[in-house]
Amino acid sequence: MTTASTDTTPAATGCQAAHDAATATTSCSSTSAIVTTPGTATSTCRLSPGVANTVGSPISTTTDSTASGAEYGASAHGADTHANSSVANRNAEATRSSGRSEEITRGTLPEAGGRSGPIIGGVNSPRIVATDLDGTLLRSDGTVSPRTREALRLARRAGAEVVFVTARPPRSMAPIARQAGELGTAVCSNGAIVYDVTADEIVTMEAIEPASARKILDALTEALPGIAFAAETGRGVLCQPGYGRTHPGDELYRRGVPDVCAAGEPIVKLLAWSPEHPLDDLFTAAVAAVEGQAEVTHSGVPGLLEISAPGVTKAGTLAGFCERLGAGPADVVAFGDMPNDLAVLAFAGAGYAMANSHHLVLQAVERRTLSNDEDGVAVVLERLFTR
């Protein structure tokens, strides 16, 4: 498959900047279970979905524990119990803290402080609906609710393109698309792949250059003794000796190799696993070791890092996809829950954080909707596309 770059947007500072900004700014409620819009007393970190990132500031730095094998890693084609229980726990905490799950009625929507306002500003009639999957479109049990399915149909009937923007690989898209009633385009593998779900075809792929992959692997091996590697290829996963992370049902896609860099297959996403190291320490050491040669992120899965080619992000690939359709940021409404969704939410004319989002996302994003288990994506889409 010919590789093609899809990221033509300006440079960004990365999600470490979001972390710094979020912790330094006025903190907004991390437990709101209502839809909010700009106007609340919230400082906002606006990121751009860039190509270049500062060393040590990968755009997709993720410090959340909700997405596991379901969203990331070698087993990324099924909902993971760890991921689902973590999302459910955060949803329950959001409900307890807010006192109740808000009943949203037609008309204006309640904002923080009891005020009301329009559901969005910056997007009038969206042409693109860009949504993350785990913790966002999908409920904590990995399903698409009937209400969400109907809301997506409503958007499509109005002429909008629905795009899944996820860290999952292409092989996990078809079952979700069937649930959602959407067989269109997906931005997969943290932006490394644009995938035509209907045709089961990889449209574009941004793999790590073989020489770069070797340098990254060697640097991480030196910095983190005992670390083991696997590689997502777009269609399957290659696993070196010592890579012990498995998932039921992944056997069909998994192949053992002595060296992922010498297997002769594209490395769309390098997976680095070291259960002996605390995850935050692992991430910090990896960012320093790769010295800007790649994008490094993690999803909260103990011991697991995900590494993509430099400049490859969800947001950058989404921006390129929109450009090819003649759409700009003002034509996009987006939904997410994780720090690696921040640049997507910033790129969109209207970016919504789920109520169950990671605290950095809630601090950085002005607009909120209900949690994934309360059909937060559907709530917004119903307002946008019901006339």
pLDDT of res. 278:
86
CB atoms within 10 A of CB 222: 10
pLDDT of res. 111:
38
CB atoms within 10 A of CB 251: 9
pLDDT(347) > 60: yes
pLDDT of res. 183:
81
Expressed in angstroms, the distance from the first to the final Cα of the chain is 43
Give the C-alpha separation, 202 to 186, whole Å.
10
- Give the side-chain half-sphere CA count within 13 A for 322: 32
3-class DSSP assignment, residue 58: coil
> Burial of 92 by CB count in 10 Å (0-12 exposed, 13-18 middle, 19+ buried)?
middle
Q: What is the pLDDT of residues 176-202, one digit of tens each?
A: 999 999 888 999 999 999 999 999 999
pLDDT(235) > 70: yes
Q: Considering the chain, what percentage of its residues have pLDDT values greater than 70?
A: 67
227 contacts 285 by C-beta, under 8 angstroms: no
pLDDT(40) > 60: no
pLDDT of res. 123:
55
pLDDT of res. 218:
96
Hey, what domains does the chain have and what are their CATH numbers?
15-57+78-103+114-205+313-385 (3.40.50.1000), 210-308 (3.30.1240.10)
For the full predicted model, state whether its pTM sits above 0.75: no
291 contacts 55 by C-beta, under 8 angstroms: yes
Radius of gyration, CA atoms only, the chain: 19
Q: In what order do the strands lie in the sheet with 367-369?
A: 201-205, 193-196, 185-188, 161-165, 128-131, 332-336, 350-354, 367-369
CA angle 33, 39, 45 (to 5 degrees): 85
pLDDT of res. 247:
67
77 contacts 169 by C-beta, under 8 angstroms: yes
Q: What is the pLDDT of residues 108-150, one digit of tens each?
A: 343 332 223 344 444 568 999 999 999 999 999 999 999 999 9
Highest mean pLDDT among 12-16, 170-174, 358-362: 170-174
pLDDT of res. 350:
96
Q: What is the mean pLDDT of the segment spanning 211-218?
A: 95
- Within 48-105, residue ranges assigned H as helices are 81-98
137 contacts 335 by C-beta, under 8 angstroms: yes
Highest mean pLDDT among 19-33, 258-272, 292-306: 258-272
Q: Considering the chain, what percentage of its residues have pLDDT values greater than 90?
A: 55
Q: What is the pLDDT of residues 65-99, one digit of tens each?
A: 333 333 333 333 333 333 344 444 555 444 443 33
Instruction: Choose between 368 and 37: higher pLDDT.
Output: 368
DSSP 223-244: HSTT-EEEEE-SS-EEE-TT--
**How does the average pLDDT of the chain come out, rounded?**
75
Q: 375: closest CA among 161, 31, 91, 36?
A: 91
| DSSP tag of 28 | P
Backbone angles phi, psi at 187, to 5 degrees: -95, 110
pLDDT(7) > 60: no
Q: 243: closest CA among 228, 231, 253?
A: 228
pLDDT of res. 186:
97
Angstrom distances, CA of residue 253 to CA of 53, 75, 87, 209: 32, 9, 27, 22
Angstrom distances, CA of residue 36 to CA of 92, 108, 143, 212, 352: 19, 10, 25, 43, 9
Instruction: Choose between 5 and 198: higher pLDDT.
Output: 198
Q: What is the pLDDT of residues 153-180, one digit of tens each?
A: 999 999 999 999 998 899 989 899 999 9
**Per-residue confidence band for 43, with pLDDT thresholds at 50, 70 and 90:** very low
CA angle 164, 46, 322 (to 5 degrees): 35
pLDDT of res. 312:
93
